[in-house]
């Protein structure tokens, strides 16, 4: 999490950032800008982690020094965040720190997110998110403290275009007379809406669109998307990984597979044999290639749900809907049955490839699930 290696594509941007650090040319304020979904925030975070690292290599942070260990949980005492929030007086959520748990949760599950995703995470769908005036006092106070790790003090400002005017002016003061060894990383999707005085105090770091091949590869390796789909989605995404992710979650086949998977698991749990018969008929009606894809999908879901129990969100790659289902389903997948279910799925796949009647293959698999889920 939050390494350069986690950034999708952007090889030259990564190289430029690493070079800055290695040549000791770290600007005290940088403005990461570029189209939405290109990974500006993941890049800024990887750069911040690299800056904090006690033993950085030529390509990434070391991963083991005290600073890196704190970064793993996004709990580094010298790294501060400012981001737009919707104030909720009732819930006593008034400053960014009050939303820090949600912020960390979103960053660790989906580093490529949009403002809408963030509003969802805050449960504030119909609010106007801004960085409030009070936030500038918070940051001034934090930066007045000595760096705990003895290195840089870093402030990441996500969407500085949402800064309240009072806050923007105080931030400008900090940029004009920055405390020693302080670095500001501003990540903007609309740099022209930022105060020109702030713009002129920062060094621009342009982040281009992600190469299509890099998006396609990430979709395959991180999200288990099929080759042909990954290329089609990457092409439509136009260099934005956020858009690619939206495409997979809307991907019709994926949606259908998800429903079929959930349907079967519910039926097997409730021993609804008649429904299972119907379920197998539905699958038998699909083409052979799609049947194989569905079995691939089941294997992926099984793996994801098994891993979900380890509570390491960085190891899980599910859509929102899949993740939601996993919160209830994952406890049923454990060391006693995971290998057995996997084996049955592989058998089914083999039989489908060998032209065995799919109605029988899927019904047989469904019945076995009744037993296996109870294990």
| Residue (18 or 139) nearer to Zn ion, CB | 18
Q: Alpha carbon of 169 to those of 130, 133, 160, 177, 198: distances in Å?
A: 15, 9, 12, 13, 8
As measured in angstroms, the least distance from the Cβ of 45 to Zn ion is 14
| Residue (55 or 271) nearer to Zn ion, CB | 55
As measured in angstroms, the least distance from the Cβ of 174 to Zn ion is 27
As measured in angstroms, the least distance from the Cβ of 154 to Zn ion is 14
Give the H/E segment covering residue 182: strand 182-188
| Residue (64 or 221) nearer to Zn ion, CB | 64
Site string for Zn ion, 199-238 (x = CB under 5 A): ----------------------------------------
As measured in angstroms, the least distance from the Cβ of 81 to Zn ion is 20
Confirm or reject binding of residue 338 to Zn ion (CB under 5 A): no
Tokens of residue 290, six digits: 């799609």
**Nearest CA among 193, 194, 36, 191 for reference residue 116:** 36
Q: Could you write out the DSSP letters of every residue in 263-306?
A: HHHHHHHTT-HHHHHHHHHHHHTS-HHHHHHHHHHHHHHHHHHH
**Nearest CA among 230, 96, 208, 66 for reference residue 163:** 96
Tokens of residue 280, six digits: 């197998």
Q: Alpha carbon of 298 to those of 123, 261, 342: distances in Å?
A: 31, 7, 9
| Residue (71 or 118) nearer to Zn ion, CB | 71
| Residue (65 or 338) nearer to Zn ion, CB | 65
As measured in angstroms, the least distance from the Cβ of 30 to Zn ion is 21
As measured in angstroms, the least distance from the Cβ of 60 to Zn ion is 9
Q: Using an 8 Å Cβ cutoff, are 42 and 2 in contact?
A: yes
Q: According to CB under 5 A, which residues from 293 to 312 bind Zn ion?
A: none
**Residue given tokens 């999490």 in the structure block:** 1
| Residue (53 or 210) nearer to Zn ion, CB | 53
Q: Using an 8 Å Cβ cutoff, are 250 and 231 in contact?
A: no
Q: How many residues at the interface with Zn ion, by CB under 5 A? A: 5
Q: Using an 8 Å Cβ cutoff, are 130 and 84 in contact?
A: yes
Q: According to CB under 5 A, which residues from 34 to 73 bind Zn ion?
A: 53, 61-62, 65, 68
| Residue (13 or 53) nearer to Zn ion, CB | 53
Q: Alpha carbon of 310 to those of 107, 141, 298, 316, 333: distances in Å?
A: 18, 37, 19, 10, 11
As measured in angstroms, the least distance from the Cβ of 5 to Zn ion is 13
Phi-psi region of 324 (alpha: psi -120 to 50; beta: other; left: phi over 0): alpha
| Residue (151 or 340) nearer to Zn ion, CB | 151
Q: According to CB under 5 A, which residues from 66 to 105 bind Zn ion?
A: 68
As measured in angstroms, the least distance from the Cβ of 128 to Zn ion is 39
Q: Residue numbers of the site for Zn ion (CB under 5 A)?
A: 53, 61-62, 65, 68
């Amino acid at each position: 999490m939050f390494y350069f290696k986690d950034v999708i594509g952007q090889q030259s941007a990564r190289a430029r950032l690493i070079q800055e650090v290695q040549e000791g040319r770290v600007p005290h304020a940088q403005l990461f800008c570029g189209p939405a979904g290109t990974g500006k925030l993941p890049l800024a975070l990887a750069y911040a982690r690299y800056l904090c690292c006690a033993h950085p290599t030529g390509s990434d942070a070391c991963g083991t020094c005290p600073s890196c260990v704190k970064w793993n949980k996004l709990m580094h005492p010298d790294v501060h965040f400012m981001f737009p929030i919707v104030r909720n007086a009732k819930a006593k959520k008034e400053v960014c720190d009050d939303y820090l748990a949600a912020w960390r949760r979103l960053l660790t599950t989906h580093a490529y997110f949009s403002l809408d995703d963030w509003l969802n995470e805050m449960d504030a769908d119909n609010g106007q998110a801004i960085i409030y005036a009070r936030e500038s006092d918070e940051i001034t106070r934090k930066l007045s403290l000595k760096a705990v790790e003895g290195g840089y003090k870093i402030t990441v400002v996500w969407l500085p275009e949402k800064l309240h005017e009072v806050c923007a002016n105080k931030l400008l003061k900090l940029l004009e007379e920055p405390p020693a060894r302080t670095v500001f990383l501003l990540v903007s999707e609309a740099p022209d809406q930022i105060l020109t005085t702030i713009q002129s105090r920062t060094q621009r770091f342009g982040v281009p669109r992600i190469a299509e091949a890099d998006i396609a590869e990430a979709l395959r390796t991180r999200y288990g998307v099929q080759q042909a789909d990954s290329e089609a989605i990457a092409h439509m995404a136009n260099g934005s990984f956020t858009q690619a992710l939206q495409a997979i979650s809307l991907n019709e086949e994926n949606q259908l597979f998800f429903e079929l998977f959930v349907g079967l698991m519910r039926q097997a749990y409730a021993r609804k044999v008649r429904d299972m018969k119907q379920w197998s008929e539905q699958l038998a009606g699909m083409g052979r290639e799609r049947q194989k894809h569905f079995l691939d999908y089941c294997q992926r879901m099984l793996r994801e749900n098994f891993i979900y129990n380890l509570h390491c969100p960085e190891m899980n790659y599910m859509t929102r809907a899949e993740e939601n289902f996993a919160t209830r389903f994952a406890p049923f997948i454990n060391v006693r049955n995971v290998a057995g279910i996997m084996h049955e799925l592989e058998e089914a796949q083999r039989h489908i490839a060998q032209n065995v009647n799919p109605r029988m293959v899927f019904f047989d698999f469904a019945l076995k699930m009744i037993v296996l889920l109870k294990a």
